[in-house]
Amino acid sequence: MSLSLDARFELIEGGQVFTAADLRARAETTTSLAIAEGDQPVADLIAALIATQANGTDLFVQRNFSADIPVPDQSGRVWLQTSGTTGTPKWAGHDLAKLTQKIAAGSGAKARWLLTYHPFSFAGVQVVLSALIGGHTLIAPPLNASVGDMAVLAEVTQPTHISGTPTFWRAFLMAAPDLDLKGVTLGGEATDQGLLDALRTRFPNAHIRHIYATTEAGVVFTVSDGKAGFPAAWLNDTLAITEHNTLNVDGRDTNDAVIIDDDRVLFRGRLDSMVNIGGVKVFPEEVEAYLLTCPVVRDVRISARPNPITGHILTAEIALDLSADEGEVRAQIKAHINALPRAQRPVSLAFVAAIPYGETGKKSRAAS
């Protein structure tokens, strides 16, 4: 295991500022179980990571208390719970050295990271470790803070770097104060070109990157060229496309459906989210990506509903741009939808203030 806690590191959480020395002292009374509860879960997580390395023990990072997940019998790892979005949550083990191998040690200017992911998720742990090892300041909102709450916190604390899901970023762009961000990171979901372009316009001084990672495999690749998807030239023996047109990483089928468009591999959606509509396979995520190209649509969620004739039908919940008027734009959105193949057209539209998302920061797929 390898965890180098930079002495410059600071954590801002629950109205308190913790130094590296504070967290080392906290680690002396920490167990090998990090639990996502209490007023200072990030401080507890960091202390547990430090104690795990010092004692050579396993660390179980627990955020799901309702699921009865068998404890693995391997040792020498940091165990994270999968979200359970596509099935029962399970433990995924990681060597701490592997979790930290792509994180650079502190040098140059000290950054200020705003933590938008659940701190006990894979993405959240990666942000925590990046700040720890880099000697940066980590700003931790309360668990389950809304995007609006995070925007208020950002205005007060002025972060320089923020990492979040595309769903988070669409909402944050509408609520965010004026920030001079130096780093913008997206992960957890496929991103679209419109969002990448909007982030470039809003934060012109930021280095923008999209990370593809899974809880089981860790970080797979990082895209920094400002384009959706990733270059087809990256495909090889360990990053391949299966016969079912899903992405395979190190022999593991990720169930992420992809398509090659010219020299680019684009994500279509999760294989388990695909629905059959009149004999046509439809990915709700593809329909969402198309609707997001309509200028008045800020965010959208497509849901599938059983239908005795076609098997399923699609419905759309749409969050409009703040300057748009529902009565004036409904016809515009319907005309936009009519350009889709019939199977991909939502049969009903509902206008909502915001699209709900879960604790992972990803769009909730269950209809409200």
pLDDT tens per residue across span 277-289: 999 999 999 999 9
Q: Tokens standing for 273? A: 């989210």
Q: Would you say residue 359 lies in a domain?
A: no
* Statement to judge: residues 215 and 280 lie in one domain: no
Q: Tokens standing for 320? A: 């409009």
Domain range holding 334?
274-352
pLDDT tens per residue across span 153-164: 999 999 999 999
Number of domains in the chain: 2
pLDDT tens per residue across span 245-264: 999 999 999 999 999 999 99
Q: How confident is the model at residue 138 (pLDDT cuts 50, 70, 90)?
A: very high
> What local confidence, expressed as pLDDT, does residue 85 receive?
55
pTM of the model: 0.85
Whether the per-residue pLDDT at 368 is higher than 50: the answer is no
* Statement to judge: residues 214 and 119 lie in one domain: yes
* Statement to judge: residues 219 and 324 lie in one domain: no
Q: Count CA within 13 A, CB hemisphere, residue 157.
A: 27
Bigger pLDDT: 140 vs 65: 140
**Spatial separation of the C-alpha atoms in residues 347 and 326, rounded to whole Å:** 17
* Statement to judge: residues 35 and 174 lie in one domain: yes
* Statement to judge: residues 206 and 329 lie in one domain: no
Contact between residue 263 and residue 295 where contact means Cβ atoms under 8 Å apart: no
In this structure, what CATH number is given to the domain that contains residue 294?
A: 3.30.300.30
Buried b (16+ CB within 10 A) or exposed e, 260-286: eeeeebbbbbbbebbbebeeeebbbbb
Q: Would you say residue 318 lies in a domain?
A: yes
> What local confidence, expressed as pLDDT, does residue 206 receive?
97
